[in-house]
């Protein structure tokens, strides 16, 4: 991550021109501002690269590339790049980071990058098939591991196999769901685990006499969670006309509302994804995968819940905690193929998928805090519409 001795704090960044911000960004990166300007002028991606990335390409579609300063995460100062079309998200994110740094910043941790490939197996005797698979676990893991030498060289590979029985009350069709657990290191891991799942499925058929069905990862990446928290002095949250303690109580009350009501929880979680998704887009990551995982995890108890919770501690400080799956990579997919995505990773100074997961989740908790603070006081429309006005003249 970024050099711990540098401060990420910037005041008045919103008043600079894009060209002035690029100059500061170049200083932050120790890069030539002209290189950055020419990268941004081309939208970060040339026509040939766009055509190679996906199919049926006719052109390129540009979005604003912004940077949210002010973040302190585990004692390190970081700038977070964000690519998003919605006004006020970047401002809210930077603003909340400024408040939280007054309490020492964010704390974060992430699980090992374990992804799961599901293999569906139709057979008559589910218990016997399960037993046969688990008895041959070592051999199956070995076959899976041989599919990805680059992953193995980087310390990753298959770690475990699990199997559970599934009964469909509607069709009376029973099947086994085999989970192949793979440490995907610095990749998002979808292709890596899908390849392994497809390789072991025929072996599982032979072992059990069954017939395989689907072989695909699950986006409910619940072995790959990231947890971010903060503790913020009440005074840092005060705003004109709203005493600090009232703001803290308002944010806590908004959290309780989301904890009790799925209608509110959906919008609460959208406020989190407002911070997460722009980091994923900026770094060329698959935001649909993370979105799917986030909402499935939010509903894992059988009831849709907020991914973050806020409380007031004994000293009257606001505490916030977010936990969610975060399947992201710093290799693979578009992460290294898109020049602007490579730049985004460089701005954050992240070298591992774990570091990126932490930064994306932190941006999520920051935007979440900013929106709850506004919602429980003056409402979001005042700030939102002021920023929205800036693009009014563009409407056709
Ligand atoms: P990938 O196959 O492009 O890259 C991963 C590979 O990089 C690894 O398998 C490994 O061989 C290699 N590698 C080199 N250095 C590594 C390191 N340090 N750590 C880990 N691996 C290293 O991509 P992927 O991450 O397997 O899959 C991501 C892509 O799959 C994304 O484009 C995503 O959109 C897509 N996808 C998603 C889904 C889904 O989410 N449901 C389904 C299919 C595909």
Q: Tell me the mean pLDDT in the region 147-163.
A: 98
**CATH assignment of the domain containing 135:** 3.30.70.420
The residue to mutate among 115, 150, 187, having the most atoms of ligand 1 within 8 angstroms of its beta carbon, is: 187
pLDDT at 379: 84
Catalytic residue flag (residue 393): no
Catalytic residue among 27, 35, 86, 131: 86
**CATH assignment of the domain containing 301:** 3.90.770.10
pLDDT for 299-336, tens place per residue? Answer: 999 999 999 999 999 999 999 999 999 999 999 999 99
pLDDT at 390: 76
User: Percent of the chain at pLDDT above 90?
Assistant: 91
pLDDT-derived band of residue 2, with 50, 70 and 90 as boundaries? Answer: very low
Give me the number of domains the chain comprises: 2
- 140 and 103 in a single domain? The answer is no
CA distances from residue 21 to 202, 298, 379 in whole angstroms, order as listed: 55, 37, 30
293 Cβ inside 6 Å of ligand 1: no
Residues contacting residue 319 through CB under 8 Å, at least 6 positions apart: 229, 230, 231, 232, 310, 311, 312, 313
Catalytic residue flag (residue 86): yes
State the DSSP string of 145-210: HTT-HHHHHTT-EEEEEEEEEEE-TTT--EEEEEEEEEE-TTB--HHHHHHHHHHHHHHHHHHHT-
Q: Which of 139-160 are b and which e, b meaning 16 or more Cβ less than 10 Å from the residue's Cβ?
A: ebbebbbebbeebeeeebbbee
pLDDT at 4: 54
Catalytic residue among 23, 137, 179, 270: 270
Domain assignment of residue 209, given as a range = 114-217
- 308 and 389 in a single domain? The answer is yes
- 179 and 311 in a single domain? The answer is no
- Residue 100 pLDDT exceeds 90: yes
More confident residue, 393 or 76: 76
- 30 and 162 in a single domain? The answer is no
Q: Is residue 1 part of a domain?
A: no
pLDDT at 1: 43
- Residue 291 pLDDT exceeds 60: yes
Residue-averaged pLDDT of the chain: 95
- 33 and 122 in a single domain? The answer is no
330 Cβ inside 6 Å of ligand 1: no
CA distances from residue 34 to 18, 68, 338, 347 in whole angstroms, order as listed: 13, 21, 19, 16
Q: Is residue 8 part of a domain?
A: no
219 Cβ inside 6 Å of ligand 1: yes
pLDDT at 3: 53
């Amino acid at each position: 991550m970024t050099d711990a001795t540098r401060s990420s704090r910037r005041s008045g960044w919103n008043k600079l021109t894009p060209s002035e911000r690029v100059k500061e960004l170049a200083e932050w990166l120790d890069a030539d501002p002209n290189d950055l300007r020419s990268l941004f002028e081309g939208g970060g991606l040339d026509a040939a690269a766009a055509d190679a990335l996906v199919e049926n390409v006719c052109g390129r579609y540009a979005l604003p590339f912004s940077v949210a300063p002010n973040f302190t995460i585990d004692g390190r100062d970081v700038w977070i790049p964000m690519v998003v079309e919605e006004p006020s998200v970047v401002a809210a994110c930077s603003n909340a980071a400024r408040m939280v740094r007054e309490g020492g910043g964010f704390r974060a941790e992430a699980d090992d990058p374990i992804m799961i490939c599901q293999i569906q197996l139709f057979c008559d005797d589910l218990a016997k098939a399960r037993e046969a698979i688990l008895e041959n676990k070592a051999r199956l893991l070995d076959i899976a591991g041989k599919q990805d030498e680059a992953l193995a060289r980087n310390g990753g590979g298959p770690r475990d196999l699990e199997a559970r029985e599934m009964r469909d009350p509607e069709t009376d069709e029973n099947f086994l769901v085999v989970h192949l657990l793979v440490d995907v290191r610095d990749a998002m891991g979808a292709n890596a685990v899908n390849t392994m799942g497809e390789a072991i499925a025929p072996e599982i058929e032979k072992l059990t006499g069954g017939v395989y069905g689907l072989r695909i990862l699950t986006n409910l990446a619940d072995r790959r969670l990231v947890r971010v928290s903060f503790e913020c002095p009440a005074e840092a949250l005060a705003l004109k006309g709203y005493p600090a303690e009232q703001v803290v109580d308002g944010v806590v009350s908004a959290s309780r509302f989301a904890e009790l009501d799925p209608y509110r929880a959906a919008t609460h979680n959208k406020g989190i994804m407002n911070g997460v998704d722009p980091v994923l887009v900026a770094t060329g990551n698959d935001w649909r995968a993370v979105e799917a995982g986030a909402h499935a995890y939010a509903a894992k108890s059988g009831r849709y819940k907020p991914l973050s919770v806020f409380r007031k501690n004994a000293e009257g400080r606001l505490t916030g905690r977010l936990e969610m799956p975060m399947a992201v990579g710093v290799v693979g997919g578009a992460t290294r193929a898109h020049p602007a995505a490579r730049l985004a990773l460089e701005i954050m100074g992240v070298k591992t998928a774990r570091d990126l997961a932490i930064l994306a989740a932190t941006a999520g908790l920051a935007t979440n805090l900013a929106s709850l603070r506004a919602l429980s006081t003056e409402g979001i429309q005042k700030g939102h519409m002021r920023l929205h006005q800036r693009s009014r003249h563009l409407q056709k």
